[in-house]
Structure formats: C-alpha cells, structure tokens
Amino acid sequence: KAGVTQTPRYLIKTRGQQVTLSCSPISGHRSVSWYQQTPGQGLQFLFEYFSETQRNKGNFPGRFSGRQFSNSRSEMNVSTLELGDSALYLCASSSPPGQGGPIKGTQRTDTQYFGPGTRLTVL
Amino acid sequence: GIQVEQSPPDLILQEGANSTLRCNFSDSVNNLQWFHQNPWGQLINLFYIPSGTKQNGRLSATTVATERYSLLYISSSQTTDSGVYFCAVDLNYGGSQGNLIFGKGTKLSVKP
C-alpha cells in the first residue's frame, strides 16, 4: 500500500496570510490525526478526524482548523499566520479495530503511520 | 495530564556499540509506540508495544505497563541509526483516540 502523503512539502508564507495543508491517508484508513512539531514545544497533537467528524482536539487556538472528506483525505487550515506557526506539520493515519469507531474499554491496536510532513515557514 | 519522559536526551555512540533508551510515563496507557525520526523529518514506526517484548532485527523493545516504563534496545548500532527516537502514548480516555502524546525524544548520533 502507498504510504501517507502530504502536500505541499514546503511552504513559505507571510504573517497574516492563511494556509491549507493536505493529507491523504493510507488506503482503507479512516482516522487522520494532525501534529505540529517545533524545536521549542516538540510534537503536539492538533486534532483527529474519523469518518468526517472531529473526535479529538488539542490545545491550539481557533485559527487552526481542519476537515475530512468522504474519501478520508484531510485538510488543515491556519488563518492569520503568526511567526510562531513556523513548524513541521505532520499527519498520521490509522485503522482502528473494526473500523467502527472507539470502543470504550477495549485495548486499541491502531498504529499511527506518519506522512513526510509539510514544513511551513512564516516570514 | 500525562507526562512522558525520555532519557537520555542525547547519546553519542561508536558504530557497533549497543544502547538502551528509556521512556517513563505517568499514567496507565492503552497505546505506546516508538518512532525514529530521520534527518528529513519522517517519523518511522518502530514498535507498537503497550506491553510485553518485541524484536525486529537489531532493535527490540520492552514495555512494563505496571511499572510505567518502556525500553528500546539498539544493538550493533550503525550510522544509519542516527536521528531522534520518540516514545508516544495514547490515553484512550472514553474511547478517544488518535491523540498521541510524545516525549521530547532521544537524539542519537552514531559515529563511524
């Protein structure tokens, strides 16, 4: 199977602009998560989508948003860019057991597979 | 929230040496993964190991869930093993998922 793909790989924007990043999961995977990696904060969870629904959200301002399409591809959007948004943005896809969503109390077996990332520079 | 601590933060080895990387976590977890991030930023899965021991070639990992730690062993290290190794856990509270909490990583440099 092809791996997780992300586009674009590199992006340069200026403060105040907005940006949209795209992620295509591994075929058959319905869960897509987004992470931000910076030298100061490390890897931080942004949000997770499953079957077009956001199920989990990290501690980021509302300028960060996302969506998932019916084919499981996902996009994230950052509006009103700030210098501190410069980072490597990674997405990951996984295949939860039974593809039926979360099952409370059941140990999970979903390994997350990461894409190559989009390196965003805000000037 | 849960704390994930990795040690050592930096490690320099001569090619051929063995090493052990440690990951401590502060709460019970349902998912623990080890990753290797190469110099180009790609995170590569090494192990999914919420408990027990697994081996893959020169790498092996052990998680003792009751004592809340995991170890990654690298034997006969090679220069291509250089990079940053991350441990990440998922709490899976109430069925939530896809939320991996990462440690700060161990930066490994293997010298020829």
pLDDT in tens, chain A (123 residues): 679 999 999 999 999 999 999 999 999 888 999 999 999 999 999 999 998 999 889 999 999 999 999 999 999 999 999 999 999 999 999 876 554 444 433 444 568 899 999 999 999
pLDDT tens-digit readout, B19-53? 999 999 988 887 899 999 998 899 999 998 989 99
CA distance B29 to B66: 10
Where b means 16+ CB within 10 Å and e means fewer, B16-39 reads eeebebebebeeebbbbbbbbbee
Helix (H) or strand (E) holding B24: strand B19-25
Residue B64: what pLDDT?
95
Cβ atoms < 10 Å from Cβ of A43: 23
CA distance B103 to B112: 28
Reply yes or no on whether the pLDDT at B95 is more than 50: no
Residue A105: what pLDDT?
39
Q: Do B100 and A92 touch (CB under 8 A)?
A: yes
CB A51 within 8 A of CB A30: yes
Cα distance from N-terminal residue to C-terminal residue, chain B = 41
B101 to chain A, any CB pair closer than 8 A? The answer is yes
CA distance B46 to B50: 13
Closest among B53, B54, B52, B34 to B44, alpha carbons compared: B34
Which residue of B lies nearest to A114 if distances are taken between CA atoms? B43
- The shortest C-alpha distance from B88 to chain A (Å) reads 10
